[in-house]
Amino acid sequence: MESNPVRWISELRRSHDQLTHLVTSLSAEDLRRASACTEWNVAQVLSHLGSGAELGLRTLQAALEGGELPPGETGRSVWARWNAMSPEEQASGFIDWDTRNLEAWEALGTDVLARLRVDLSFLPQPADAVSLLGLRLGEHALHNWDVRVSFAPAATIPDSAAELLVDRLPMMMAWGGHGEAWLKPPARLAVRTEAPSRGWTLELRQPVSLSDPSPGTDGGLETRGETLFRLLTGRLRDEDTGRVQLTGPIELADLVRVFPGF
């Protein structure tokens, strides 16, 4: 995994610029259009990203100042406020808060980035800068795609983001993979990607895991990094099936059921 936080910040900047450029051109009707998140329209996706940026900035500032992190009820009150906004307010609020959060990261020197540690309740150990940025970039890249694909059906996640994010997939299996949805005998799939070039073994059982390559697999899966990232985060569309090459008895529909997204 890329260990230089500056690379992650740079890619977050690229995703931010791409999405905000689109948002500034959207009409009132566009903001109310369905997104690739089946339960949210475009403005609601932006609201999710905007509230996440607000909470992320508060957390970063507290960590830098040595104060207490925002309590759980802060998140609930922030989400309630964002949910009450109009679609236009959600869009403008996203641009404002996403910009502020990104600029706070960009202002940090390399020494501060190297020392940064944040104790998040859902992680077993304090998160360093790369861990925090990885969480944000993963969320940002996926929801960026959720919005863009609503207007450009051929949209994909940029390879520059996928090259960073695919290395986070093994640790994401704990909440992204639903082994209980695997209705066949346990199986092992050899996974290979290009852009970037990677290899893993996908264990289809309970729990699901993605680990270093090992012998004795039941089939293979080959695709691009961005497509694998979308597949394992529940964002593979019917139009994408030609992007995935499967060998052996495992069917793509089985994988889609195991990885419903979040």
CB 236 within 8 A of CB 227: yes
Please report whether residue 111 resides in a domain.
Answer: yes
Instruction: Clarify whether residues 135 and 191 are in a common domain.
Output: no
Identify the CATH number of the domain in which residue 137 sits: 1.20.120.450
Using one digit for the tens of pLDDT, what is the confidence trace for 206-256? Answer: 999 999 999 999 999 999 999 999 999 999 999 999 999 999 999 999 999
pLDDT at 251: 94
CB 148 within 8 A of CB 22: yes
Please report whether residue 160 resides in a domain.
Answer: no
- Quick one: what percent of the chain has pLDDT higher than 90? 90
Q: What total number of domains does the chain contain?
A: 2
Using one digit for the tens of pLDDT, what is the confidence trace for 199-215? Answer: 999 999 999 999 999 99
By residue range, what is the domain housing residue 56? 5-155
Identify the CATH number of the domain in which residue 200 sits: 3.30.1050.10
Domain-ending residue, one of 155, 176, 191? 155
Instruction: Clarify whether residues 134 and 172 are in a common domain.
Output: no
Instruction: Clarify whether residues 240 and 185 are in a common domain.
Output: yes
The type of residue at 188 is: R
Write the DSSP string, 47-115. Answer: HHHHHHHHHHHHHHHHHHHT-PPPPHHHHHHHHHHHHTS-HHHHHHHHHHHHHHHHHHHHT--HHHHHH
Region of residue 261 (left: phi > 0; alpha: psi -120 to 50; beta: else): left
Please report whether residue 162 resides in a domain.
Answer: no
Domain-ending residue, one of 123, 155, 187? 155
Q: Could you tell me the pLDDT band of residue 262, with boundaries at 50, 70 and 90?
A: confident
pTM of the model: 0.96
Cα angle vertex 107, ends 67, 94, to 5°? 80
Pairing of strands 245-247, 198-204: unpaired
Q: Could you tell me the pLDDT band of residue 71, with boundaries at 50, 70 and 90?
A: confident
Residue 178 pLDDT greater than 90, yes or no: yes
pLDDT at 29: 98
DSSP one-letter code for 32: T
Please report whether residue 135 resides in a domain.
Answer: yes
Average pLDDT, the chain: 95
Residue 123 pLDDT greater than 90, yes or no: no
Cis omega before residue 207 (within 30°)?
Answer: yes
